[in-house]
Structure 1
Amino acid sequence: MPASPSPLWRSLLLYREIPRHFTLTALLFLLGNIAFAAQQWLVGRTVHALEVGAADGARAALDGVLHWSAWLLGAALLRGVLQYGAGLSSLISGQQLLTLLRERILVQVQRLDLGYHWRHGVGELVTRTTRDADKLRDALINFWRQVFELTLVVTATLAVLAWYHPGLAIVPLLLIGIAVTLFLRQTDHLVTLDRAVGAAYDEVNQELSEGVNGVRVIKSFVLEGQRADRFEAQIAVFMRQATAALAYACARVPVPQAVVALGQVWILVFGLHLVETGRLHRGELVAALLMANVLIFRAEGVGRVMQIFADARSSAARIWELLDAEPAIHGGTATLPDRPLGLALDGVGVRAPGGSTAILDGCALCIAPGEVVALVGATGAGKSTLVSLLPRLLDADTGHLRLGDDTTGWTDLRDLRLDALRRAVQVVPQEAFLFSDTLAANLKLAAPHADDAELQRALHIACADEVVERLHDGLRTRVGDRGITLSGGQRQRLALARALLARPRLLALDDATSALDALTEQRVLGRLRALRREPGGGTTVLMVASKLSTVLQADRVLLLIDGRIAAEGRHDDLTAHRAYRELLGLD
């Protein structure tokens, strides 16, 4: 199997996505460097005209200089226009590729399962989307400025030098080869250093993200100073890593530049010898020295671009690690009938990340279509994990989960299309998440084409219509980040209305009424129970419950202990179970 190209080359291959801009930019740089070579040649012709014309008189010398100077001015103006166009085109191309890359990252982040997000954290994903993508963009732009153009400049310069005399080109070519070898040997260590910088930057982003998202906890426990110290410590680690990388680059990069500079000494010494022997005129020697200056100047640029490309190699590797990651959860091809769904678990087991602790162990249960069931258990018993299995946000390690009924049969969740499953099964978590947008936009995430009647129905069932009525702009009200402008109970009701707008056939409430007062909760759950009277049998409801008021609204109660269902039945039947009484505070 052929080896895949390096991450940086894979990034450069993205130019295939914009072939017209790529071709235009390459053509402009090519023409610009042809004009540059012509400039150097014209300088030599101008000096030579002055030298030859001096023998024929001042007038002849002036005419020759003016003639070639006019051509030189024209070449300079043409090169300026071409360079401007090439630079602008390369910047546009770089921004297009950065947009394309970030779109792919965003799509991939949405594709990946929750397990991946838990392992890598917000800080790392933000770093790859921002810092790493920016570094890669710099490399993609500098590909034109430093790599492509440098190749053209070196080729044109060595060609003109070889035209003057092969000996003028051979030594600079060898020195350039030595310098590039030294640069490449340094690059691997620069990449290692930059990966360490990137890892430190991940920690800075993670610390910053937690500081912003946990600001209420920080203020409540007067932790501002402690968090500031932690953040300062992370910044100090980042600064040490960044300083080490910069120190290495500053110490090592000038060496190859000095090697290239030796080429100018060779051209001067050997060129004077050729002039003395009549094999090179003075104008050509001047042009050759100018070209040597250009090579030295470009060699200084190579040091900078090698630093950029070393950073980009590390960033490209981190980005393609993300883009190449395969989601652990894949859908099947089956679909679901448009009616209430029953749920069956058979020997379901789930282990914590790392496989050390069993969260669910041989869990089995059955819920009939249209039934309202409460799930109770101690903190850490696995209730939220069980609920996350239903839309396949997580997958069970062992056992089977099925949807359906005894009449039409049961379908394993792994055989279902993910989009069909997640439209049919809605989970409302305890911590309701709202985007920084209008209420209407947040609600319509589940049903973009919902009309006003459907909105009002969902709001009414969730008792969220009264929330909207109190807001000055109603559904056009913009909520802050994560719905911060609303109370916890208001967010929970709106999140429930959003889920109901999708008309789910199985609705799972993960303690999603915990912030509601007893009266409002009773009204919400009563309206959910009334859904079964709708045509088609309504919605099956599984409620993770921690309050007696919630449990009393259920047809049946499941008691989860040590990762499995230890008892089930009506509330009155389970009051004889000691663990059940302790959980609900009935003793």
Structure 2
Amino acid sequence: MPHRHPLLRCLAIYREMPWRFALTALLFIAVNLGLAWQQWLVGHAVNDVSAGHAVVRQADGSLDASLGWYWFALIVGVALGRGVLQYAAGVLSLVLSQELLTRLRERILGQVQGLHLGYHWQHGMGEMITRTTRDADKVRDALISFWRQLVETPLVVLAAVGLLCWYHPLLGLVPLLLTALGLAIFVVQTERLVSLDRAVGAAYDRVAQDLSEGIGGVRVIKSFALEASRIQGFASQVGLFADHARSALAYAASRIPLPQAVVALGHVWILVYGAHLVADGRIGIGELVTSLLIATTLVFRIEGIGRVMQTFADARSSAERIWQLLDEQPAIRSGQAPLPDGPLGLRLEEVGVSAADGGREILRACSLRIEPGETVALVGATGTGKSLLASLLPRLVDVSAGRLLLGSDAAGWQDVRQLDLAQLRRRVHVVPQESFLFSDTLAANLRLAAPGASDAELLQALHRAAADDVLERLPRGLDTPLGDRGVTLSGGQRQRLNLARALLGQPDILCLDDATSALDAISERRVLGNIRALRGTTLLVISSRLSTILLADRVLLLDQGAIADAGTHAELLQRNPIYRDLLGIDHG
């Protein structure tokens, strides 16, 4: 659904900088009033020249050009003053537009970070990038033109028509009507351009998404020798984008001349009717010259509007796409209640969770209880909702039914939806199987969980995650850049660094969602042993590896969206055939 007045909503951000906005507007007003004054002076100067007053021969035969020099100095002075003011207004408008662009991008990034995972699953990375880059840039381009087209143009038209009407009412009325007609044609044509640019924006989204997937999935592409097909697919997306862009440009280029021709008729009217007024002696030659200069100014200004018509149409479409994102309501909002003090356990009471598209129910009537400090393994077939259950703990996803409670019998239990979100995510960490490291140093990546951590604490976290050898192999130690997503490291090394980052945050509840899958059995045993040695840490391990499960106090079996069985490994092995099949054990 199109959002109302999206470009005006972007312009409304100027209210946050009122003094600079007012100063810029005053400068543009002064520049355009100066233009009208300059044209008026030219007319009076021409009158004096034509009347022979500018240069007068004295009785002694010498020439007195003092009046001519007066007009020359005055017109040049006004032109220089306008030039200085024009420069200052232009620079300040650029600074203001860049400031507005910065604030707009900050809001987009904040909104993207605040939106729930379901929104990110439904909208690709390319779409998010396009909103922040192409769409924001197009809005910025329109804001730069805003001052000239929406501040200068009305002033120029009013000043020009006012001066023409001062000479003679009909001399100003006809150009005013023709200018209004030309602007109306522009407005009608802009609607079509906006719809064309929506198609251009959607095509650009697909280009950005294809590009981001091609870069992010380069290993898979190379592994399956898909380079040629990926390049062909990308070229096809770029070609589709180019076709839409050409259609928009062709429409604009073919429609712009009509309004310009309409406004240019005012020039003809002034020449014909002005000559008639001069012949009747109702205006002088200077006034006719001034009127023609004014008409030329109007034509050039309308041509300027034609040149930026596409800019404003693009910006309106882009602003609409930006506000679609900014107006999206976060599905997960922070509560106000603090977390209970002391070690935390967790309880699920008849929890149900549906798919992001509102389709089938993945978890249904799921109930479990994990005591503070307990180590529990969660097993289940692929697609049963194990990772979704893990996402419930820090509220990356919310329950559709039932309750998820954190706390203990001693300190009390709290529904996660009532808890302060920032505090919840500081004390409850989920480490996924897919390791993500930022293109920064090792120390910077680790300190994401604890910004104030000392180097000694970083080393301790690395030791607990069995990542000492990773540090030893890095040429600059903690200050070694890791590259994009830790591309220089192996899968097991990345997993251990992610574990070290989570441990540095000292969470009360730690969930490992197949986060040790790339580790060998010795490293895994060492990591889990170090975590269990931490006093009070509740550990939920999602895994199908027998070596991992044997380290747990209890095992929970997730089947058909609910906890189907619970007990020790030996108990489930003895009584549950589904559990034996998952582990590939023949009970005999």
What is the TM-score normalised by the length of structure 1?
0.96
Gap runs ≥5 in structure 1: none
Cα pair 2:339 2:420 within 8 Å, conserved: no
String of CA shifts for 1:539-578, please: whole Å, max 9, x gaps. 0000001211111110111111111111111111111322
Secondary structure of 2:112 counterpart: helix
Give aligned pairs, total.
580
Aligned match of 1:555: 553
Farther-moved stretch of structure 1 (98-107 vs 570-579): 570-579
249 and 442 in structure 1: CA distance in 2 versus 1, 3 angstrom threshold: same
**Cα drift, residue 5 of structure 1:** 6.1
Match runs of 1:360-439 below 5 Å: 360-439=363-442
Are positions 1:282 and 2:285 aligned together?
yes
Distance 1:231 1:309 in 2: 29
The one of 532, 540, 543 equivalent to 1:542 is 540
Amino acid at match of 2:570: D
Amino acid at match of 2:242: M
Aligned match of 1:19: 18
Amino acid at match of 2:147: W
Gap runs ≥5 in structure 2: none
Distance 1:458 1:334 in 2: 30
Distance 1:71 1:300 in 2: 29
Farther-moved stretch of structure 1 (125-134 vs 30-39): 30-39
Cα pair 2:441 2:482 within 8 Å, conserved: yes
Aligned match of 1:235: 238
Distance 1:504 1:310 in 2: 50
Amino acid at match of 1:330: R
Aligned match of 2:162: 159
Cα pair 1:43 1:72 within 8 Å, conserved: yes
Aligned match of 1:567: 565
Distance 1:328 1:54 in 2: 78
**Cα drift, residue 483 of structure 1:** 1.1
String of CA shifts for 1:255-289, please: whole Å, max 9, x gaps. 11111000001100110011011111001101110
String of CA shifts for 1:325-358, please: whole Å, max 9, x gaps. 1100112111113322111111111111222222
Distance 2:353 2:489 in 1: 35
Quote the sequence identity (%). 62
Distance 1:220 1:568 in 2: 41
Cα pair 1:362 1:399 within 8 Å, conserved: yes
Are positions 1:74 and 2:73 aligned together?
no
Distance 1:44 1:69 in 2: 12
61 and 304 in structure 1: CA distance in 2 versus 1, 3 angstrom threshold: farther
Distance 1:441 1:54 in 2: 79
Cα pair 1:47 1:65 within 8 Å, conserved: no
Cα pair 1:132 1:316 within 8 Å, conserved: yes
Are positions 1:120 and 2:119 aligned together?
no
The one of 343, 348, 351 equivalent to 1:348 is 351
Amino acid at match of 2:568: R
Runs of 4+ in 1 over 6 A off after TM superposition: none
Over the aligned positions, Cα root-mean-square deviation in angstroms equals 1.6
Match runs of 1:239-318 below 5 Å: 239-318=242-321
Amino acid at match of 1:51: S
String of CA shifts for 1:446-500, please: whole Å, max 9, x gaps. 1111123322322221112231122121111111011111111111111111111
Distance 2:136 2:23 in 1: 24
Distance 1:120 1:445 in 2: 26
**Cα drift, residue 408 of structure 1:** 2.5
Cα pair 2:352 2:362 within 8 Å, conserved: yes
Secondary structure of 1:307 counterpart: helix
Distance 1:153 1:99 in 2: 31
Aligned match of 1:37: 36
String of CA shifts for 1:202-255, please: whole Å, max 9, x gaps. 000000000000000000000001111111111111111111111111121211
Distance 1:240 1:495 in 2: 44
Aligned match of 1:442: 445
Distance 2:120 2:421 in 1: 18
Distance 1:524 1:300 in 2: 70
What is the TM-score normalised by the length of structure 2?
0.96
Aligned match of 2:52: 53
Distance 1:44 1:133 in 2: 45
Distance 1:94 1:406 in 2: 56
Aligned match of 1:103: 106
The one of 65, 68, 93 equivalent to 2:68 is 65
Are positions 1:146 and 2:153 aligned together?
no
Aligned match of 1:519: 522
